[in-house]
């Protein structure tokens, strides 16, 4: 059986556009000889739709688009992910669904059985689970259609979440092929983990699996694709590319070349950030971006990502020296701009800084300069950047990293101003790692920017490590506290200094109010600030 996998990039709520994408991929697969075509979870809707499903016309318009697709599908079957109503008297109002389209009509509908409500998922808020899992007979084959979480083995979850196993139910009923429509978001290590899971499930069920995953960025989530087909022995016979739209036809029952496990965390992280930035900008209606260039590594990496995502001609940099900025930082900003081909302008904030200090002098009389004056500079830069964004309709990118955001080493309404925090889920150590990778084939980021000590340059001779621990230590402790949820005593038990651990813990907790006002960031780790980590601002737990 030749199955077409249509790994497409949908836009949430764009039913006409998504239908066109699906049909284009469907017809491409037909030209390649497909006998059946599979699309991702909610391919007609875009994932996740969140509370859009409650809008009165959302599901009706989705069903209208489904009917349109059904009318267009004459040649071979197409399996489409969508949202349907739950017609039962009790339970949630909607279904996460898949439809089998064939011969100009909807032949069958399938409901998602396992609805995740952890991490970034909240499907039980909206959907009612399927009550039973039964094979669909087509072409002499018994086919089990599942949706995303339905195939996730409990061995790959932190604990068993469900008292049902759809794959086991389908296997008991007898199936020749498992098909999974998925919208599985990316984080570091996820493609490899997902692949191991699918190979284990195929071996245990002793059936081939066709797995079709979404690609693209929707808000903070990035979907990496890496769709695949796995044979009953657990060998991957074909795997689609990551982070790009692709359609491929695979001979499921004849086997094929086994594909090696592809990894490369640094390249994956970079590809995810490029895709996430590009889709966030384009899907929000922006063709250009702007950002502040400080001469530091964070703004440099953000600029390179933006140039690769949108084209250098669509990226505008602004370097804004203060009385404490070194000329070297300005020169590094212009050097970066020249190397990657973006425009950079210089606008000093010194005069504006003096004006603000003069204006506030009567109010501050008798008080020494402190962090207040440092924050004035950051906020003036934020105002200048917002002005540039407003004037030319650029999406403003913030450039802070996860380490800084975690401990509040950033200025609200200052360097946090913007519409997208491109690298806010990258710890500082990863920023260095990826920046060096960017330069693997030649200098794009000036090496001086990578090697010099990080500094906000808001006071004389300032260095990040005047305030923060060394980044390798800070990131290691943040990994244990934020990602693994360990308490201070447990982290200290790993050999870290107690004073430092408790200082970091306190800073993370105190700065939740800042993070809840931060621009949305692109999720690339297992526990991103934003929709992936939901903490109260007002709390006293230590």
Identify the bridge partners of residue 242 per DSSP, sorted by sequence position.
Answer: 225
Q: Distances from the Cα of 240 to the Cαs of 231, 259, 262, 277, in angstroms?
A: 15, 10, 11, 22
Q: Which of 29, 112, 128, 373 is catalytic?
A: 112
H, E, C per residue of 228-265: EEECCCCCEEEECCECCCEEEEEECCCCCCCCCCCCCH
Relative to beta strand 215-218, strand 221-224 is antiparallel
Across the chain, how many H-helices and E-strands are there? Answer: 16, 19
Active site residue 290: no
Name the active-site residue from 133, 148, 212, 344: 148
Instruction: Give the separation between CA 353 and CA 147, rounded to whole angstroms.
Output: 56
Q: How far apart are CA 489 and CA 469, in angstroms?
A: 19
Whether the CB-CB separation of 272 and 242 falls below 8 Å is answered with no
Residues 25 and 244: beta-carbon distance below 8 Å: no
- The packing angle between helices 471-478 and 498-510, to 10°, is 70
- For residues 218 and 120, give the distance between their C-alpha atoms in angstroms, rounded to a whole number: 12
112 to 58, 99, 128: CA distances (angstroms): 19, 11, 8
The string of DSSP codes covering 172-185 is: HH--SEEEEEE--B
With a CB cutoff of 8 Å and minimum separation 6, the contacts of 410 are 400, 404, 416, 514
Strand pairing category for 177-182 and 78-85: unpaired
Active site residue 112: yes
3-class DSSP string for 276-329:
HHHHHHHHCCCCCEEEECCCCHHHHHHHHHHHHHHCHHHEEEEECCCCCCCHHH
Q: Considering the candidates 41, 123, 169, 374, report the single residue annotated as catalytic.
A: 41
Name which of 287, 164, 276, 144 is nearest 221 in CA terms.
276
| Pairing between β-strand 246-251 and β-strand 136-138 as defined by DSSP bridges | unpaired
Q: Which residues are part of the catalytic machinery?
A: 41, 112, 148
């Amino acid at each position: 059986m030749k199955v077409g996998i249509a790994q497409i990039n949908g836009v949430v709520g764009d039913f006409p556009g998504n239908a066109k994408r699906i049909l284009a991929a469907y017809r491409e697969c037909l030209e390649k000889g497909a006998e059946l075509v599979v699309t991702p979870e909610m391919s007609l809707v875009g994932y996740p739709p969140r509370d859009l499903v409650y809008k009165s016309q959302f599901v009706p318009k989705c069903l209208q688009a489904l009917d349109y697709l059904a009318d267009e599908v004459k040649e071979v079957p197409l399996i489409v992910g969508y949202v349907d109503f739950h017609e039962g008297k009790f339970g949630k109002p909607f279904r996460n669904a898949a439809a089998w389209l064939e011969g100009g009509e909807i032949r069958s509908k399938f409901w998602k059985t396992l609805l995740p409500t952890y991490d970034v998922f909240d499907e039980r808020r909206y959907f009612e689970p399927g009550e039973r899992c039964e094979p669909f007979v087509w072409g002499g084959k018994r086919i089990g259609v599942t949706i995303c979480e339905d195939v996730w083995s409990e061995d790959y979850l932190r604990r068993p979440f469900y008292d049902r196993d759809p794959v086991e139910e389908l296997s008991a009923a007898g199936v020749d092929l498992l098909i999974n429509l998925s919208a599985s978001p990316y984080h570091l290590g996820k493609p490899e983990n997902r692949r191991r899971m699918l190979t284990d499930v195929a071996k245990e069920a002793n059936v081939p699996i066709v797995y079709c995953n979404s690609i693209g960025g929707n808000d903070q989530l990035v979907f990496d694709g890496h769709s695949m087909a796995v044979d009953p022995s657990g060998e991957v016979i074909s795997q689609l590319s990551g982070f790009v739209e692709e359609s491929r036809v695979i001979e499921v029952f004849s086997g094929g070349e086994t594909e090696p496990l592809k990894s490369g965390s640094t390249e994956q992280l970079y590809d995810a950030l490029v895709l996430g930035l590009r889709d966030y900008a384009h899907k929000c209606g922006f063709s250009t971006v702007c950002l502040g260039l400080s001469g530091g590594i964070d703004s440099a990496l953000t600029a390179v990502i933006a140039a690769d995502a949108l084209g250098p001609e669509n990226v505008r940099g602004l370097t804004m020296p203060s009385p404490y900025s070194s000329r070297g930082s300005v020169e590094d900003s212009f050097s970066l701009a020249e190397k990657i081909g973006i425009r950079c302008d210089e606008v000093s904030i010194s005069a504006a800084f003096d004006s603000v200090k003069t204006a506030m002098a009567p109010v501050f009389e008798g008080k020494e300069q402190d962090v207040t004056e440092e924050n004035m500079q950051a906020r003036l830069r934020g105002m200048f950047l917002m002005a540039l964004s407003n004037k030319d309709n650029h999406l403003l990118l913030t450039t802070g990293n996860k380490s800084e955001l975690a401990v509040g080493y950033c200025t609200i309404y200052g360097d946090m101003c913007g519409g997208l925090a491109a690298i806010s889920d990258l710890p500082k150590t990863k920023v260095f790692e990826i920046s060096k990778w960017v330069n693997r084939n030649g200098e794009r980021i000036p090496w001086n920017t990578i090697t010099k000590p990080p500094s906000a340059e808001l006071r004389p001779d300032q260095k990040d490590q005047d305030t923060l621990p060394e980044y390798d230590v800070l990131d290691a402790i943040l990994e244990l506290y934020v990602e693994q949820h360990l308490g201070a005593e447990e982290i200290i038990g790993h050999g870290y200094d107690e004073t430092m651990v408790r200082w970091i813990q306190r800073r993370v907790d105190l700065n939740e109010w800042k993070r809840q006002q931060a621009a949305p960031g692109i999720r690339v780790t297992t526990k991103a600030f934003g929709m992936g980590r939901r903490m109260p601002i007002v709390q006293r737990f230590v």
